[in-house]
Every structure is written in C-alpha cells, then in structure tokens.
C-alpha cells in the first residue's frame, strides 16, 4: 500500500477505465488486474505528455549524462529509464503520491497501480473541472495585457 501523503481515494475499476479512456489512453480491465511493465509505461508516457507536455523524444534529448560516460551506447537505456522515472516521480508527487519507485515501473503490482492511476485520474478530473475557470481568467489577463500595451503606446506618442 502507498504510504505517502496521498489524500485521494482509490477509484473503482470502472471509474479508472472511464477517465483513462476520456484521456484517450488505451486500457482494459485485465490491465488493472495483471499490469505489465509495458502497459504501465504506455500509461505513464501518456500522463507525462497530457499533464506536463513532456514527450519521450524530449526525455531522450535531455540526456546530458551520456556525454559524461566513455560508452554512451552501453548506458543510454539506463539513463533514459532514470530520466523517465524522475519525470514520472515528479508528476506523481505533484498529484499527491510521494512514494513512487522504480519497482512501480519494472514490477507493477495491481494494488499500487490502481492507487497510482486513481491519483492521476483524480487530478485529471479536477483539472478538467477547473479548466473553464482558468481559461476565462487567462482570456481576461490577455485582454488586460493588450489594453495595457495600447495605453503604453498612446503615452509614448
């Protein structure tokens, strides 16, 4: 069981499936019962892209550690995995899951996977619920910035 400061409830399987499908992330109920490293990696990649805008290509480009080794081709997969893990751990920490480990990626256990997915799904639902308000204020801020620019140009004339 996750021991972090997570405050979100574990969702029912159907709720997880519904939210994941709304996010256009492929998942089946069997995936929750018997998660594989390959499946959770697909989900975690999607979470990083959807929620943080980070793609796998960007992770691959961010690997400066390869320049520090004499045999970069021997370590590229390990360094990529650590970069991927670090970005995922940061995302999960931001949604309230503080004890994500490499084991969650390499040997996923159904209860932990369900808890992690619940945390991300809860965050995604909260974000989607608040997005219209954020967009409203973003539009207002943009309009105010344009007005300020126009007033500054008038003062300069």
DSSP conformation letters of 109-156: -HHHHHHHHHHHHHHHHHHHHHHHHHHHHHHHHHHHHHHHHHHHHHHH
Confidence of residue 3 (pLDDT cuts 50, 70, 90): very low
Read off the pTM: 0.73
Nearest to 85, CA basis, from 138, 136, 40, 131? 40
Q: With left for phi above 0 and alpha for psi between -120 and 50, is residue 142 left, alpha or beta?
A: alpha
Confidence of residue 2 (pLDDT cuts 50, 70, 90): very low
Q: What is the pLDDT of residue 118?
A: 95
- Phi/psi at 80 (5° precision): -60, -45
What b/e readout covers 133-145, taking b as 16+ CB neighbours within 10 angstroms?
Answer: eeeeeeeeeeeee
Summarised one tens digit per residue, pLDDT across range 87-133 is 999 999 999 999 999 999 999 999 999 999 999 999 888 877 766 67
Nearest to 52, CA basis, from 95, 21, 98, 106? 95
The tokens for 155 are 């003062």
């Amino acid at each position: 069981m996750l021991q972090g400061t997570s405050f979100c409830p574990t969702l029912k399987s159907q709720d997880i499936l519904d939210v994941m499908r709304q996010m256009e992330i492929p998942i089946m109920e069997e995936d929750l019962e018997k998660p594989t490293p390959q499946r959770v990696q697909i989900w975690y990649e999607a979470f990083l892209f959807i929620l943080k805008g980070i793609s796998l290509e960007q992770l691959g480009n961010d690997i400066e550690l390869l320049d520090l080794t004499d045999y970069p081709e021997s370590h590229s997969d390990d360094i990529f995995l650590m970069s991927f893990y670090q970005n995922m751990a940061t995302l999960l920490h931001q949604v309230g899951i503080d004890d994500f480990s490499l084991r969650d990626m390499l040997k996923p256990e159904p209860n932990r996977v369900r808890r992690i997915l619940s945390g991300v799904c809860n965050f995604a639902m909260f974000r989607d619920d608040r997005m219209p308000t954020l967009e409203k204020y973003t539009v207002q801020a943009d309009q105010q910035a344009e007005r300020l620019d126009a007033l500054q140009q008038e003062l300069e004339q």
